[in-house]
Structure 1
């Protein structure tokens, strides 16, 4: 064997021990409790990570999680006719993650950033504008009617049209104005009307949903972070957010 070939093979063998190939299992339509029970088998089978559906509350107890309702409800709030999600309670979710980590298995959840469920805030006189916790109509791509109510736009008609993909609907789910900057590019009486994005304190009574104090110091999420509702409300400059800021905060909170 030529020396150069030998050295290449030797280097490859030395580096191979540091190469980690992750075996991910997509595991949907299964309760958190059953996943917990299956964890020893999954680890023994060689899986090192799980890909799971959104853990947050959907539009009802049978929702698979993609019609999001409340990004800060993991199965602990009595809303939409249920406390638990389709997959279980928040306590069961946290136990599943704890057991997975104990077996060296990472857990990845789908995170939906571009839409909520099917309901429209301010659809009529009986539908509140804050029907989705933390959201108002100006956060969505919506048509405003002559009598001041709201309707969804069409679903995307041409998937080769970037503007439609970014500003029209998907499967009749209400589309969030996640476009960069301070302008909502499809809100008003006519398709393509624009409005300034609204900025306000999204969860004034839930300091546990925030992880920074007003000076930008990291204090962590949860009830032990030292923040209070009064403190949040007294510092609007620090805690007022556009919708995309809130979506990013919700993703960090879930972590």
Structure 2
């Protein structure tokens, strides 16, 4: 029987910009596998505006830390060879690698160009607030350090449909580029009237040459890296039909097991469902709805009704297409989508994504190892490790929910014969000390169960009818399970496989 899979986002916004991150990943690959991680989502691998750029201010898609451009050969994370070595080390240790792709915009152009634009209202991009006029925009990309190696494609203002800076007048705004067949794309999110434009020079996916080049690049990147999948950034701003075409072509090029997950940052469940429909379920999406539920629960404390935590979430409606997460680089303090889950609820939030039957959970580097920046926070390795162990060894079998109280909820996983001693009982409280009487099965009668988190110290005896009363501390989580041992005192659990496997989450 295949074990549960777990993804790790292997970066946070303030990872040190010293070029050592790819080497860090290479060195840590064996340890990550021991921690029961199966896949890593790595940050953007392409050259940004400087060696400090996180990769989301993308400059040259074909420069993976190979060419002297923007004052540096390496990216923030290291050189191309260090990247390839890190990916190889991950795969040798049975870790899949998903590369982060930024395809919405380009930044750090090499030259300015003169062209006509119409300024639009920043809060309603369908509202034009000027007549056409000339600006000087940073839209010409010639890549002098790379030349025509890998691609001869050079970008100019005709390949974009918007920008945000007029060098001629030294002012910012949202400027829609004027030209034949130029407009915002209609197949995007409808926030601000039309949310095609996000930042920098906005790539125009109505341009046939752009579509062709970006698909060619996507294939080149996958083949160059030998990675196992992609994470697609900011796809609510990109022509949805192109995203579908791109995903289809990547899977055709790299094989049916090539995994793709998209960042469609909307808490509106209906919008996420419609997007999946448009893409014929070719990709998964991060469950933003659940993230905001977890955030609200952490902020509201006992006033939040825990029995509703999964209502109107993607993992509830589309479990096979949902990547669940607690926090990420954008939700951490002082970042664009700040919605940081409070410390007291963090372990409970991870139990809600790691120990359930549904969803493909993703652990955040910043939660595990800590975050830097203006609001540094220590990592919660001690809180997350027992949950990772429980996910790998215990969280299997039929799931039964006891979501019948606003402040104390629980569920059980009955376990499976193929994994000896599997099965768990989870209880979460956001109020006072609580308990749940739950059934783990008559076949478990007489077993002594302990709290794997260490939050409770007693042992619970399973009754003859398979029921037991499982306690939990106030504002906490307890994960109860039977820790069986063989005659030599070793756990009867299968070792982690050394093969990367994308087929099940």
TM-score (norm 2): 0.30
2:113–2:140: 8 Å Cα contact kept in structure 1? no
Give distance in 2, aligned partners of 1:21 and 1:132: 46
Q: Which runs of 5+ in 1 are unaligned?
A: 1-16, 182-196, 198-240
The Cα of 1:106 is off from its aligned counterpart by 0.6
SS in 2 for 1:164: coil
Give distance in 1, aligned partners of 2:137 and 2:70: 14
2:108 matched to 1:141?
Answer: no
2:53 matched to 1:63?
Answer: yes
Give distance in 2, aligned partners of 1:142 and 1:121: 16
In the superposition, relative to structure 1, how do residues 64 and 54 fare at CA in structure 2: closer, same or farther (>3 Å)? same
Give distance in 1, aligned partners of 2:92 and 2:104: 33
Matches within 5 A, 1:57-206: 57-117=47-107, 119=109, 121-123=111-113, 130-131=140-141, 133=143, 134-142=154-162, 153-154=174-175, 160-161=190-191, 164-166=194-196, 168=197, 170=198, 172-178=199-205, 181=206, 197=207
Give distance in 1, aligned partners of 2:67 and 2:92: 28
Aligned-pair RMSD on alpha carbons?
3.2
Give distance in 2, aligned partners of 1:21 and 1:46: 9
In the other structure, the counterpart of 1:22 is: 5
2:113–2:157: 8 Å Cα contact kept in structure 1? no
Q: Judging by fraction of residues, say which structure has more strand.
A: 2
1:141–1:152: 8 Å Cα contact kept in structure 2? no
TM-score (norm 1): 0.58
SS in 1 for 2:59: strand
State the structure with more CA Rg.
2
Give distance in 2, aligned partners of 1:254 and 1:118: 21
SS in 1 for 2:195: helix
Query: Aligned residue pairs: how many?
Result: 169
Alignment deviations for residues 42-64 of structure 1 (CA, whole Å, 9 cap, x no partner)? 01111110011110100111100
SS in 2 for 1:98: helix
Alignment deviations for residues 75-121 of structure 1 (CA, whole Å, 9 cap, x no partner)? 00000000000000001000001111100101001111111125485
